[in-house]
């Protein structure tokens, strides 16, 4: 099929490349000229395992092209994916101006029947607005089109796998013609195809992310009770998670959720609920537990170190989670900002996100290319992201390199008993 993907970010690039991989002809569009120039030169703007090779293969085999020209994509494709960002506004509502802008551009160039698919995460009723916008701006009012909601569930770090092996594909659609075409498009990927009405599909995405965020805040709240009572959150989470009704995933206590999705989707869901007339108090608590969790961790650091001023402190992990370079809403940011305000000397290491971190973190930080180099002479090691290489680190080497063997672990990656045996002063979450 001929497909165009508008917005070539994490979602658009992975979606476009995966659809090319299963044999479709895909045009990826972005209005960021540098991004498109880089992609044309074989440079992938994001870190996502396996993506480089898959992009190269599909470009070489002629199924994947990149352009800034929206007209080229719209005119030559029957299926148009909208994958632009929907960032939070200052009041927590989703900013849908990029979606509107793209809908207007599609309307300008539409020449025959098209399926316009919203893959960006949007509040319920957005597809109605997209349809309205296209109807208002389309020149030839006789041209038929369908607007579909097809929310994306990929996780950064495993985005290719998730797209190629989906648990489920949700298609919110009112037209049988569009549903049949999309059924055919997605068949090669397997996974359960769920056809719903458009509003249900929109809510499925917000409700899924909010539920996962709720699980994280729940276990973080329980970790506080563990700290106050002397229980161990890892044991509690295991005992809970083995109940199949609960499940083990998303029960890792830590310094809270971050990233480009959970924080904005929870607040957008609260806001749209409010607009519709429902006060989603439960989700307000999810947000406040999450904000509090990182502050609680900062207090732990201050309590352990007493005076932070002029101390060399090392932070391992900057990205909001492992296997990605995404720094959006990373919990490492408030931790580092607070320590810098308290005049600590910050040395940091992350396997892939240093360049992106430099764009969002203050200047007076020393970045390292090696996790052990970052530790030399340090008075404390803070773990902010649970990268695998930190889990496998040589504990004796860590201890020998540091001037004080203090480890403050925001991700519970080490065993407190082993750390004690090795002579570390070790603090973690909920145990």
Cα 217 vs. chain centroid, distance in angstroms?
A: 17
Pick 98 or 257: Cβ nearer ligand NAD: 98
**Closest distance of CB 17 from ligand NAD, Å:** 13
> Is residue 402 helix, strand or coil?
coil
> Is residue 125 helix, strand or coil?
coil
Q: Active site residue: 4, 226, 261, 343, which one?
A: 261
310 exposed, middle or buried (CB, 10 Å; 0-12, 13-18, 19+)?
exposed
Pick 12 or 322: Cβ nearer ligand NAD: 12
| Cβ neighbours for 142, distance < 8 A, ≥ 6 positions apart | none
State both tokens at 319.
Answer: 């990205």
State both tokens at 292.
Answer: 């509090």
**Closest distance of CB 15 from ligand NAD, Å:** 9
> Is residue 115 helix, strand or coil?
strand
Pick 30 or 409: Cβ nearer ligand NAD: 30
**Closest distance of CB 312 from ligand NAD, Å:** 34
Whole-number Å distance between alpha carbons of 372 and 397: 8
Pick 74 or 261: Cβ nearer ligand NAD: 261
Phi, psi of 138 (to 5 degrees): -70, 140
Pick 98 or 297: Cβ nearer ligand NAD: 98
> Is residue 278 helix, strand or coil?
coil
Active site (annotated) includes residue 261: yes
CA-angle at 241, arms to 238 and 244, nearest 5°? 145
Q: Which residue is nearest to ligand NAD (CB)?
A: 9
**Closest distance of CB 420 from ligand NAD, Å:** 38
Pick 85 or 267: Cβ nearer ligand NAD: 85
Tell me the CA distances in angstroms from 352 to 36, 136, 153, 174, 385, one per residue in order. Answer: 21, 45, 23, 43, 12
Q: Are 198 and 172 in contact (CB under 8 A)?
A: yes
Q: Which residues bind ligand NAD (CB under 6 A)?
A: 6-12, 29-32, 35, 83-86, 98, 101-102, 120-121, 152, 154, 156, 260-261
Cα 194 vs. chain centroid, distance in angstroms?
A: 23
**Closest distance of CB 27 from ligand NAD, Å:** 12
User: What region does 250 belong to: left with phi over 0, alpha with psi -120 to 50, or beta?
Assistant: left
**Closest distance of CB 332 from ligand NAD, Å:** 18
Q: Which residues are catalytic?
A: 261
């Amino acid at each position: 099929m001929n497909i165009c993907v508008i917005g070539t970010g994490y979602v658009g690039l992975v979606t476009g490349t995966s659809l090319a991989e299963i044999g479709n002809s895909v045009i990826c569009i972005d209005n960021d000229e540098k991004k498109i120039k880089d992609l044309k030169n074989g440079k992938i703007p994001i870190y996502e395992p396996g993506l480089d090779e898959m992009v190269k293969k599909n470009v070489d085999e002629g199924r994947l092209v990149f352009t800034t020209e929206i007209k080229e994509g719209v005119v030559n494709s029957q299926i148009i994916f909208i994958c632009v960002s929907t960032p939070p506004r200052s009041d927590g509502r989703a900013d849908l101006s990029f979606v509107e802008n793209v809908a207007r551009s599609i309307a300008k160039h539409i020449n025959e029947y098209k399926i316009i698919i919203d893959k960006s995460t949007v509040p319920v009723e957005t597809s109605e607005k997209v349809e309205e916008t296209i109807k208002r701006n389309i020149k030839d009012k006789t041209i038929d089109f369908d607007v579909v909601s097809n929310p994306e569930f990929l996780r950064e770090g495993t985005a290719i796998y998730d797209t190629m092996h989906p648990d489920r594909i949700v298609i919110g659609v009112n037209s049988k013609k569009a549903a049949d075409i999309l059924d055919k498009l997605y068949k090669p990927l397997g996974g359960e195809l769920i056809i719903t009405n458009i509003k249900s599909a929109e809510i499925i995405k917000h409700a899924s992310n909010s539920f996962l965020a709720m699980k994280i805040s729940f276990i973080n709240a329980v970790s506080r009770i563990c700290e106050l009572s002397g229980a161990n959150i890892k044991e509690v989470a295991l005992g809970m998670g083995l109940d199949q009704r609960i499940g083990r995933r998303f029960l890792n206590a830590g310094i809270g959720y971050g990233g480009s999705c959970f924080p904005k989707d929870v607040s957008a869901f609260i806001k749209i609920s409010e607009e519709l007339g429902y006060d989603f108090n439960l989700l307000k608590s999810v947000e406040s537990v999450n904000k509090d969790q990182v502050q609680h961790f900062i207090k732990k650091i201050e309590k352990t170190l007493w005076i932070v001023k002029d101390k060399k402190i090392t932070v391992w992990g900057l990205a909001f989670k492992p296997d990605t370079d995404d720094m959006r809403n990373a919990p490492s940011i408030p931790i580092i900002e607070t320590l810098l305000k308290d005049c600590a000397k910050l040395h940091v290491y992350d396997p892939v996100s240093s360049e992106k971190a430099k764009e969002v973190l203050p200047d007076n930080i020393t970045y390292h290319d090696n996790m052990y180099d970052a530790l030399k002479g340090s008075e404390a090691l803070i773990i902010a992201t649970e990268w695998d290489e930190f889990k496998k680190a040589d504990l004796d080497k860590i201890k020998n390199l540091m001037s004080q063997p203090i480890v403050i672990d925001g991700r519970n990656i080490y065993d407190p008993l082993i750390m004690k045996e090795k002579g570390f002063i070790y603090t973690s979450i909920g145990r």
